[in-house]
Chain A
Amino acid sequence: MKATPLTQDFSRFIAASPAVEILRIAIVVVVGLLLFRILASLVRRLPARGLTDQSRLLLSRIVFYSGIVIILVSVLDQLGVKLSALFGAAGIVGVAVGIASQTSLGNIISGFFLVAERTFQVGDVVTVGAKTGVVHSIDLLSIKLLTFDNLLVRIPNQFIIANELTNVTRYPVRRMDFSFPVSYSSDLKRVREVLLDVARSVPEVLEEPEPLLIFDSFGSSGINILFGVWFHRHSYVEVKNTVLSEIKARFDAAGIEIASFSSSIALSPQPIAIQVVGGIDDGKVGNVVSNPDAPRAGV
């Protein structure tokens, strides 16, 4: 069919109209974003074995951010921006941005090391510095911890690489230590029996590995004891509460005293003789010494 002048005019209008151009770009952006979001979501649900949650999370983010770059390049192309010139400029800008964002780049690279090391994964309980919580997400720049009092803590990846991190739930069994002194008058054989019986009586305390009992040292208030019981990581609160209350109850029943720091002062019924060295009359305060022959206060 031969185009009439009217249709030719319309085609020219369509091709040149900024509104159509904007519409086309909007479609590219919307459809592209939707597509890459779906792709990222699919990657996150990959059933592949050997992929941890954090690997999936990272992969899905790489897919999504790569998609954004592709969409951006497409939009710029639509707008008629010459990409070769842009990339040339991007090199210069990249150096500037790189220098300006050293910390961010450091965090991104640290993030890759963290993922490669597999020290922890999403869902683990970790301690970093003074913060303990469940790993909520592992992102490009940071990890997010959900603390047990329901706070979200962001820790930069670089900080984790440079500092000590403890993965509390990496292994299925853990030992819980109880340290306390018993009074010097306690029968240590009886203390041992009672503590081992406490371990036997709490069902969540594992029979093996066996409980640890060490009479650690002579302390200022009593004999320091280290008592450790093994438990499955899911029973932390139950074991902590039950063992502690059982120790208290059984010690009370057995007449074993948990020593607390205390001092007793026994004063002699006789007055302490004090000798004044130097003159008082002249208005100067002299040295005061106790009479070595006089009875002393005992501390």
Chain B
Amino acid sequence: MRQTKEIDELWKSDLSFAERETRFWRIGSCGFWIARREEEWWIAFEPEGDGPSEPPVRAVATAEAREPEAGLVWERFVAGKRSRISVRPGLPDLPVVIRPRSPLVILPGRNARYYVSIPVWVSVFEGGEGHRELLFRRPTERQRKTWFGESDNGELCYSFSSALESSPDALEATPLTVACPVAIRNEADTALNFQRLCVRAQYLSLYSGARRLATNEVIFHFRGLDQSSQVTFRDEPPDFEKNPRRLAGPQISAAKSLIQKSFEYIKSLTQY
């Protein structure tokens, strides 16, 4: 239950601000100030390099009254009379390329279910449980970008290395990572041999379970080299967590099924 407590302490809804009050948060390696100034929200981010020197600092979260440093660049949002803020966990705003620590081969006709870790993003909203307006979304640890697909028609993604674990318990449970179940169905008559997996996190919902944050299941249907693989998202809470509560819905409410290329092949001839 320790993780649940940490999660609850980390993410707050309906925080009330007094006039001219300033608070500082550090969640992971993301540090930011929020201040209330005459019906406006003022937001500034800790300059890169000013945070903890040992990234990733996953379990650290502070929210304190702290005077902003000189020279910060403030962004201002006109808010009116509303004086409440919610700091919530979220998922990345781009697809995440998961690089398994060792390549995986799925034989023809076989299915597999794995669990991967996705880093949490912090989403700050104006307002409480009812009506919320997104003010910003930031990663809780520094993200590198990568390109998934061909140079003329691929897509920009975040890159993240994770183990492909066959049990959720094998994944390290921290308040700043999300367990994502991935089902892979090889419906082709050739072996599926891949080194990278693209999870389109914008289509996933985020849940808080008894031990960790988790998403709904992503299902990849592989139908051969010449055909695109199909990706579907199971619209149900994760079954490996007790009493999952939905924290956030998908950022993009797309159709349930996407026809997208989601695997990158290791060409057996190149042995790469």
Contacts and interface: CB of A to CB of B under 8 A. Distances in A.
**Same complex:** yes
B30 to A, nearest CB: 13
A203 B147 contact: no
Interface in B135-194: 142-148, 151-152, 154, 156, 159
B156 A172 contact: yes
A173 interface: yes
B262 to A, nearest CB: 15
Contacts of A230: 147
A201 B85 CA distance: 33
Interface residues of A, number: 13
A208 B152 contact: no
B147 A173 contact: yes
A233 B152 CA distance: 12
A286 B146 CA distance: 72
B100 to A, nearest CB: 14
A180 B26 CA distance: 40
A232 B145 contact: yes
Contacts of B154: 172-173
Contact of B151 (A171, A200, A203): A171
A165 interface: no
B28 to A, nearest CB: 15
Given A171-B152, A172-B154, A172-B156, A206 B146 contact: yes
Interface in A195-211: 200, 203-209
Interface residues of B, number: 12
Contacts of B151: 171-173, 209
A206 B147 contact: yes
Contacts of B145: 203-207, 232
Contacts of B156: 172, 232
A203 to B, nearest CB: 6
Contact of A208 (B142, B143, B146): B146
Q: Which of A172, A204, A209, A230 has the most CB atoms of chain B within a 10 A radius of its CB?
A: A172
A205 B156 CA distance: 11
Contacts of A232: 145, 147, 156
A213 B64 CA distance: 46
Q: At the interface, is chain A mostly helix, strand, loop or mixed?
A: loop
A171 to B, nearest CB: 5
Contacts of A200: 144
B120 to A, nearest CB: 18
Interface in A145-160: none
A207 B152 contact: no
Contacts of A203: 142-145
B142 A207 contact: no
Contacts of B152: 171-172
A264 to B, nearest CB: 39
Interface in A116-173: 171-173
Contacts of A208: 146-148, 159
Given A171-B152, A172-B154, A172-B156, A209 B144 contact: no
A206 B151 CA distance: 12
Nearest to A199: B144
B216 to A, nearest CB: 27
Contacts of A204: 145
B73 to A, nearest CB: 16
Contacts of A206: 144-147
Contacts of A171: 151-152
A207 B143 contact: no
23 contacts: A171-B151, A172-B147, A172-B156, A173-B151, A200-B144, A203-B142, A203-B145, A205-B144, A205-B145, A206-B144, A206-B145, A206-B146, A207-B144, A207-B145, A207-B146, A207-B159, A208-B146, A208-B148, A208-B159, A209-B151, A230-B147, A232-B145, A232-B147
Given A205-B144, A206-B146, A232-B156, 17 more contacts: A171-B152, A172-B147, A172-B152, A172-B156, A173-B151, A173-B154, A200-B144, A203-B143, A204-B145, A206-B147, A207-B145, A207-B146, A207-B159, A209-B147, A209-B151, A232-B145, A232-B147
Shortest 4 CB-CB contacts between residues of A and residues of B: A207-B146, A207-B159, A208-B146, A171-B152
